[in-house]
Amino acid sequence: MALILPHSVFLPHSVFLHIPKCGGSSVRYALRDAGYSQKRENETGPKDLPFNRRAHAKLDAVRDECTDRFLFTFVREPVEWYKSYWSHRTNFAWTLPQYSEERRAWGNDKPFPEWVESICKLHSGFLTRLYREYCGTNGEVFVGRVESLEEDLNTALKLANEKFTEISVGRDNCSDSLPDVTYESREMILDSEQEIYEELQFNALQTNS
């Protein structure tokens, strides 16, 4: 049985760490459809896990308890991540009370170019820091790409020695519409997230716009 943390998945031999807006819902549903029996932590989960109620549990939250498990996650090209994050927040999450502080700090209902400018100036390297909190160092986490989600998920499960047949991955929790990106916004993101482009070897030219 797979243990589902909020937005994370424990499998028999591995743990999936779900970075926000990086295909995690599609991964979870694909695992469910592949036959993994999944129940919420508050129904069956062990009560001694200190991180068992944390949404989007990060590497530090699971590292000590999962020394014998294969860890994997997925990342999205940074410009595409900013587009997806803004679209999700604008079309849905900004209305939720748990995001009220973020809404005030980051700017409510700002057009995408203005929002990008605010984030890159006030929180330069925001996504770089976020990815590092999940990906770790020295290969301790297998890092797949949203752009090759199905292939990389199957690779991760094989490396983890999970028992499964080839898994198909659909598109779940995806934004219906994404903003256009101006040259100026793209350059701001590339400059702000330069370190993670280099660390994860993203090609800045291979984006969807």
Q: Supply the pLDDT for residue 53.
A: 39
Q: Residue holding tokens 């020695």? A: 161
The CA distance from 191 to 28, in Å, is 32
Q: Supply the pLDDT for residue 103.
A: 60
**Strand extents, DSSP E, the chain:** 2-5, 8-10, 14-17, 38-40, 70-75, 142-145
168 pLDDT tier (thresholds 50, 70, 90):
confident
Asked, for residue 205, whether it belongs to a domain, the answer is no
Rounded mean pLDDT, 96-124:
75
Asked, for residue 185, whether it belongs to a domain, the answer is yes
Asked, for residue 178, whether it belongs to a domain, the answer is yes
Of the chain, the percentage scoring pLDDT greater than 70 comes to 72
Is pLDDT above 90 for 132?
A: yes
Asked, for residue 109, whether it belongs to a domain, the answer is yes
Is pLDDT above 90 for 6?
A: no
Domains of the chain: total: 1
Is pLDDT above 50 for 96?
A: yes
- Higher-scoring residue by pLDDT: 85, 186: 186
Is pLDDT above 70 for 60?
A: yes
9 pLDDT tier (thresholds 50, 70, 90):
confident
The CA distance from 79 to 208, in Å, is 9
Any idea which of 38-52, 69-83, 195-209 has the lowest mean pLDDT? 38-52
Task: List Cβ<8 Å contacts ≥24 apart for 49-52.
Answer: 51/5, 52/5
pLDDT in tens, 23-58: 988 888 888 888 775 544 443 344 433 333 345 788
- Smallest Cα–Cα separation from 175: which of 45, 58, 85? 85
105 pLDDT tier (thresholds 50, 70, 90):
low
User: What is the residue range of 130's domain?
Assistant: 2-199
Asked, for residue 206, whether it belongs to a domain, the answer is no
* Average model confidence (pLDDT) across the chain: 79
176 pLDDT tier (thresholds 50, 70, 90):
low
